[in-house]
Amino acid sequence: MYHRAYLPANTRFPDCEGEHIFTQESPLNALRQYNGPMDFELRNLIEWGTPLLLTVLTVGIAYWLLGKTFANQPQNRLYRQLSYVGLTIVALVILVLVLPFSVETRGQLLSLFGIVLTTVIALSSTTFVSNAMAGLMLKATGGFHTGDFIRVQDQFGRVTSKTLLHTEIQSEDRDLVTLPNLYLITNPVKVVDQTGTLVSAELALGYEVNRHTVTPLLIEAATKAELTDPFVHVMEIGDHALTYRVTGFLEDVGKIVSKRSELRGHVLDTLHDHAIEVMTPSIMNQRPLHPESTVIPEPTHVFNHEPSGDAEKIMFDKAELAARIERFRQQCEKLEAEIDSLREDKSDNKMEISWREHQLEALKDIITRLDVTDD
């Protein structure tokens, strides 16, 4: 009969050829030898696959929640994109920490990740990240908003959207122009104030016309163009002519393009009606003219077409829709603040809360439909 004996670990037995060391194997190694390589591969799959699967599921749920949160908030598109980027970075770091790497390997991976991230930021002046940083700067400064008229170098239009990487404007030709955010922070941006702006027109007249005669006529033209508080400046005393600029205040900035054209037209008509020639001072006319004759078009009876502002509606339709949505969102924020204030009040105001909630739901429904139309 044989009896199995259990010896303590690291027991030494001398023999003729030397010492033999009997080492008690760990249960994991014993299980590996007993069950074979198939069970070892299954265990590795569990050790590596479980944290990976949990991380992917968690990140997927987080992406879905962010999408639901920002679904009806295009004005927060910048924050949504930043959230996606930040969530991706956090997921990568978590994977490095939870996967069964050795301490040395984990430290090397984290160091490599930090070096890559630092290098990307260091090269941001000429890469994708530069526009993202510029977008953050524009968001922080808040220099202009959706629906504003802006001019950058030779580009003029109305803002339709602002994202992390670029800003989109709609030009006078109704075309959409995409401006990188880096371009906007490296060039002066002229923003038309929504409370009103100045509309002006320039022209040059010869020295034979007294400036005291021209000034009231230009002011009259600005008044006909429905501009308030008009004034006239002499901009330049040239070799052959004086350059005048007539300016007036426009409250409805949505008609800025039409009013510029209308002002120039009224300037031309008013000067002609008072027998003042508008032409280049260096003109050479080969026709024999009587000293008393003037070069003024003969009056004609034409259809009196007054601009109604429809031109801007066609030019900036998308920008106008974006501005309208932005105003509705501001009204929603105001209603939400009023509802919170009424709920904090202890008095009986359930009817007022219910009415404001009804208004809030109606505005949100309008915003949703307008967003679908915009897309």
How does the average pLDDT of the chain come out, rounded? 77
| Confidence at residue 247, expressed as pLDDT on a 0 to 100 scale | 92
pLDDT over 50 at 34, yes or no: no
Residues near 73 by Cβ (< 8 Å), separated by ≥ 6? 80, 329
- Condensed to tens digits (0 to 9), the pLDDT of residues 175-187 reads 889 999 989 999 9
Lowest-confidence segment of 79-93, 145-159, 244-258, 265-279 by average pLDDT = 79-93
Edge-to-edge strands of the sheet including 197-206?
197-206, 241-250, 228-237
For 132-191, CATH gives: 2.30.30.60
Could you tell me if 158 and 177 are in contact, meaning their C-beta atoms sit under 8 angstroms apart? no
Q: Is 231 helix (H, G, I), strand (E, B) or coil?
A: strand
The answer to whether the pTM exceeds 0.85 is no
- Residues 37-57: what's their mean pLDDT? 75
Question: How would residue 23 be classed by pLDDT, with cut points 50, 70 and 90?
Answer: very low
Residue 265 has a pLDDT of 92
In this structure, are residues 219 and 231 in contact, taking their beta carbons and an 8 Å threshold?
A: yes
- For 323-343, the pLDDT digits (tens) are 777 787 788 888 888 888 877
| 197-282, CATH topology level | Alpha-Beta Plaits (3.30.70)
- Whole-Å CA distances, 211 to 49, 159, 199, 214, 243: 86, 40, 21, 5, 10
Q: Are 322 and 374 in contact (CB under 8 A)?
A: yes
Domain ranges of the chain: 33-122, 132-191, 197-282, 316-374
pLDDT band at 263 (very low <50, low <70, confident <90, very high): very high
The residue among 370 and 36 whose pLDDT is bigger is 370
Q: Between 114 and 303, name the one with better pLDDT.
A: 114
pLDDT digits (tens, 9 = 90+) for 185-228: 999 999 988 888 899 999 988 888 888 899 999 999 999 999 99
